[in-house]
Amino acid sequence: MTVIDTPGTATSITGWTQACRQDYLIPGRGVAVLLKGGRQAALFLTADGTLFAVGNIDPFGRAAVMSRGLVGDRGGVPVVASPLLKQAFSLIDGRCLDDESVSLPVYAVRVENGVVAVSNDPLVFQGGTA
Amino acid sequence: MERKTVVVVGHGMVGHRFVEALRSRDEAGAWQVVVLSEEKLAAYDRVGLSSYVGAWEPSALALPGNEYAGDALVDVRLGVKADAIDRTARKVTTSSGEVIGYDALVLATGSYAFVPPVPGHDAEGCFVYRTLEDLDGIRAAAEAAGPGAVGIVVGGGLLGLEAANALRLLGMTPHVVEFNKWLMPAQIDEGGGAILEKLVTELGLAVHTGVGTSAIETVAGAPVSERLSVKFSDESELRAALVVFAAGVRPRDEIAKTAGLEVGPRGGVITDLGLQTSDPNIYAIGEVAAVEGVCYGLVAPGYSTAEVVADRLLGGAGEFPGADLSTKLKLLGVDVASFGDAHAKTEGALSVVLHDAAKGTYAKLVVSDDAQTLLGGVLVGDATQYSALRPLVGRPLPADPAALISPAGAELGADALPDDAQICSCNNVSKGSICGAIADGACDVPAIKSCTNAGTSCGGCVPMLKKLLEQSGVEVSKSLCEHFSQSRAELFHIIQSTGIRTFSGLIAKYGKGTGCDICKPTVASILASTSSDHILDGEQASLQDTNDHFLANLQKNGTYSVVPRMPGGEVTAEQLITIGEVAKEFGLYVKVTGGQRIDLFGARVEQLPLIWKRLVDAGMESGHAYGKSLRTVKSCVGSTWCRYGQQDSVGMAVLLEKRYRGLRSPHKLKLAVSGCARECAEARGKDVGVIATENGWNLYVGGNGGLTPKHAVLLAGELDDETLIRYIDRYLMFYIRTADRLQRTAPWQEALEGGMDYLKAVVCDDSLGIAADLEAAMAKHVEGYRDEWAAVLEDEGKLSRFVSFVNAPEESDPTIGFDDSGERKVPVLLGIPDIPVAVAPQLPGVTKVAESATHGK
């Protein structure tokens, strides 16, 4: 099992939801994953082959669209821009780079036998809330 | 220290300003202030009187601080009138019988509304327009008369038009009677008055100019709505429910006259530049003052007089600085501005007039006899140039006067403006403060915004901010974003000449990092403009903004809207039925767009292919109503049906829409074709507008909506079909290759060095020798075009992306909801609901499911 390197320490992961085969993902393009429990994650494969998952609901627009945002970087930080009003969110810790008071939950991602799975609960970061 | 007393007679806007000015400067507390206010309300915004109509909330007009709460040195007595002044004893007697001694007396009694001595002017139903009480009376009379009753306003000046608008808002039919030959004679000239009359008539006002009111009679036994018979100097007569006199104001100088102060021949208390009357202990300010014999009926000079007297009482030597009588206002939504010597009274003054009756605009500049100096001007219908022109009064003209007021003419350059020119009118920021900020280190537009507030409201002045930056030597970066230092046009040339067809290849060699939501769609657009690959092919798919990604318009709740292509707006009955059936079956909200198409709202991602399939089967494409691409070609009815039509506008619109569909560009593109000069398709509001004449097609380019709408300008006239299409091919392709990201056609044209002449030379005379290349590029696009939606339907791989969830392709997004209870289906933003959902086990690309899904909580 490979747990993709995500900063912060996950304190509770209560299970995983399988998303799709890794080779189904297109670099730079997201997919939405319906997690067990009803949450939604936006799963991305970036150009360098890293997998990230953040909450799918845009906290500004309150619609489940983050997986349809464009992926890239801002000053080297991998980000996704909301397709609604284009705010950028860090894929590493979910914080919004345009408004520090807002952030997306971050989900752990693992790959097993070529299948990508996303944690059902968001990661809890040390020293703060995700 | 012995405290002195100043008595202020009148508590209007100027009286209040005087008290404020005195109290804020009199730190030692040398003066005790007593204010006598005849009205029962403390000072309110009389200039904003008309805004009382509708809300009927007096407190909304109250001037801030008019209670002087907690200030023991101010004593306001409401509802108390000054009856007499005893100058020898320095005492004022009030209507309540009190006698107040003063060291200084300030007359701020303002003016009263002038009522012409028309027989019957005091009949019931006759009003003036001056106080909140007057408006309450007018309202009661209007309501008693019922909707649509005639109300007559005597006086077609500024106040008269305001009064007429108030009557309109009260549901009456307003008639304005103006004795002069045109409206607003004090501010504007005859030509401006004529346009103003046309504009306000279109808004529902009846205007009678050159007519006096000769008598008002009460009609016995008539209903309230017709209780007055008003007779005019031209022998005509109107029945009306009420008459409002707005024929000017006169200074309220009776108390001064009685006290033996010197008054002017036409009224007003004579003062010197220090506002001192003929009695050195008495000052007059505001509209009652005749400063060196001149009365000023505006609040700004009134405020100046208040400041001067406050200064004088504290030992200063302030003098009235004179007044700028320039005005810019929106009357009934019509822009009217007058500045400087608007009536060309200066000896030898020349006028340059641009009178566009069709557009409803009038502009006049008054210049000195050598045409070198701007003296004044009048703008009606469109006053956008006011803020740039007014500060130039008395200064050399920066350009030919005709060009300054011509819509297609010179936009005033930043260097032509003096430091006190107002650049941002929303936040009142001058050129001087912006240049100051730049000198202090603001090096880009966001920095200017944050330190001056300029450009933070409507954003209309941002282009001017950029010009100021450029002019001050700050290099405004042309880089597309942090990943590419090149401009869009440069990237276009790189892609064209290197043959690089991938974003990763391009950024590796010419950029840095991994890209962003600015450069990725830009490169996607350039790739689409230079080949006919499907936009979702391979890596190109990851560059598309969400609309191009899902080939539909993203709406606020994450659903999409679909706008079936109806070239030229043509549709068959069968197709209409299909559209209706699709809307019904998928529960879509239907609306006709501004571009003559039918918009279907509320489709979930997984429904899009099903909808497209139905449209394809009915012979329609889904349509590009999104993205930076050709949207629609609008048309009128044309010569086939219309009795005025000179050419087949529908046929041409269909041809153009089919030709340019799928064309990606720096900004969205809209076209229109009108079949005659009546312009029913509004073609001059489009990027490319084609208007038929009896000798062929006129081609207009660069019409844009947005923040600063522009009309398209003539590129070439009387073209045959073939030449028309050739010119449009060249124009569009030249734009696509050279414009900046998100630069619309109008600003692109304006930014071209050499302007329209250069563009005409390139497009019509092939001055660069690239016409064949541009045409070939367009031919390649036309030939390579395929129905992009049908192509998705035929491609399993692409089709599999149209799901709400990659792991649950059968599920709809449970967070999407609608409110169907009203007349209009409305998306409901739910936030994050906690809904238990079944996760379907079939994963794309997964043959064996390693972990079976369970129901969530």
Q: Which residue has the tokens 């019931």?
A: B124
Mean pLDDT of B566-592: 96
The CA-based angle B95-B99-B101, given to 5 degrees, is: 135
Question: Where residue B701 falls among pLDDT bands split at 50, 70, 90?
Answer: very high
- B449 pLDDT more than 60: yes
Closest alpha carbon within chain B to A39: B834
Closest alpha carbon within chain B to A37: B856
Q: Quickly list DSSP for B294-325.
A: EE--SHHHHHHHHHHHHHHHTT----------
Provide the pLDDT for residue B700.
96
Do B675 and B682 form a contact (C-beta atoms < 8 A)? Answer: no
- Cα separation of A48 and B58, whole Å? 65
- A11 pLDDT more than 60: no
Q: Quickly list DSSP for B725-740.
A: HHHHHHHHHHHHHHPP
Token reading at B160: 């008269």
Best A24, A34, A84 residue to mutate vs chain B (most B CBs within 10 Å): A34
CATH 3.40.50.1000 fits B324-412, yes or no: no
Say if B815 is an interface residue toward chain A (CB within 8 Å): yes
Q: Where are the alpha helices (DSSP H) in B10-92?
A: 13-25, 52-55
Q: Quickly list DSSP for B545-580.
A: -HHHHHTSEE-TTS-EEE----GGG---HHHHHHHH
- B838 pLDDT more than 60: no
Provide the CATH topology of domain A25-117. Rieske Iron-sulfur Protein (2.102.10)
Contact call for B837 and A28, based on CB within 8 A: no
Query: What ranges do the domains of chain B cover?
Result: 4-110+252-314, 114-249, 324-412, 414-476, 488-544, 629-802
Count other Cβ atoms within 10 Å, centred on residue B26. 17
- B839 pLDDT more than 50: no
- Condensed to tens digits (0 to 9), the pLDDT of residues B673-698 reads 999 989 999 999 999 999 999 899 99
Do B229 and B243 form a contact (C-beta atoms < 8 A)? Answer: no
Query: What ranges do the domains of chain A cover?
Result: 25-117
Token reading at B388: 């740039």
Provide the pLDDT for residue B854.
33
Token reading at A48: 């360098």
Provide the pLDDT for residue B407.
64
- B344 pLDDT more than 70: yes
Do B10 and B111 form a contact (C-beta atoms < 8 A)? Answer: no
Q: Is B443 annotated to bind ligand?
A: no
Which is the CATH superfamily of the domain at B4-110+252-314? FAD/NAD(P)-binding domain (3.50.50.60)
For residue A17, list chain B residues with Cβ-Cβ distance below 8 A: 807, 839, 853
For residue A83, list chain B residues with Cβ-Cβ distance below 8 A: 545-546, 554
- A98 pLDDT more than 90: no
Question: Where residue B844 falls among pLDDT bands split at 50, 70, 90?
Answer: low
Is the pLDDT higher at A125 or at B615?
Answer: B615
- B387 pLDDT more than 60: yes
Provide the pLDDT for residue B282.
97
Token reading at B834: 């906690």
Say if B835 is an interface residue toward chain A (CB within 8 Å): yes
CATH architecture assigned to B629-802: 2-Layer Sandwich (3.30)
- B574 pLDDT more than 90: yes
3-state DSSP call for residue B383?
A: coil
Q: Which of A26, A64, A115 sits opposite B558 (nearest CB)?
A: A64
Provide the pLDDT for residue B447.
79
Mean pLDDT of B292-308: 89
Q: Which of B514, B832, B833 sits opposite A73 (nearest CB)?
A: B514
Query: A58-72, B441-455, B750-764: which has the highest mean pLDDT?
Result: A58-72
Q: Which residue has the tokens 């309110």?
A: B44
For residue B545, list chain A residues with Cβ-Cβ distance below 8 A: 70, 83
Q: Select the CATH number that applies to the domain covering B414-476 from these four: 3.30.465.10, 2.30.42.10, 3.40.50.150, 1.10.10.1100.
A: 1.10.10.1100
Mean pLDDT of B623-639: 93
Closest alpha carbon within chain B to A34: B805
Say if A106 is an interface residue toward chain B (CB within 8 Å): no
Provide the pLDDT for residue B707.
67
Q: Is B676 annotated to bind ligand?
A: yes
Mean pLDDT of B632-636: 96
Calculate the alpha carbon distances from B80 to B9, B37, B96 in Å. 10, 6, 7
3-state DSSP call for residue B723?
A: helix
- Condensed to tens digits (0 to 9), the pLDDT of residues B200-255 reads 898 889 999 999 999 999 999 899 999 999 999 999 999 999 999 998 889 999 99
The secondary structure of A1-56, three-state, reads: CEECCCCCCCCCCCCEEEEEEHHHCCCCCEEEEECCCCCEEEEEECCCCCEEEEEC
Indicate the class that CATH gives domain B114-249.
Answer: alpha beta
How many angstroms away from the CA of B856 is the closest CA of chain A?
Answer: 4
- B845 pLDDT more than 70: no
Q: Where are the alpha helices (DSSP H) in B739-848?
A: 745-751, 755-764, 771-784, 788-793, 796-799
Counting Cβ atoms within 10 Å, is residue B721 exposed (0-12), middle (13-18) or buried (19+)? middle
pLDDT > 70 fraction of chain B, expressed in percent and rounded: 93
Is the pLDDT higher at A110 or at A4?
Answer: A110
pLDDT > 90 fraction of chain B, expressed in percent and rounded: 59
Question: Where residue B659 falls among pLDDT bands split at 50, 70, 90?
Answer: very high
Counting Cβ atoms within 10 Å, is residue B123 exposed (0-12), middle (13-18) or buried (19+)? middle
DSSP E strand boundaries for B570-666: 589-592, 598-603, 630-635
Say if A69 is an interface residue toward chain B (CB within 8 Å): yes
Max Cα distance, chain B (Å): 110
Domains B4-110+252-314 and B629-802 share a fold: no
Say if A76 is an interface residue toward chain B (CB within 8 Å): yes
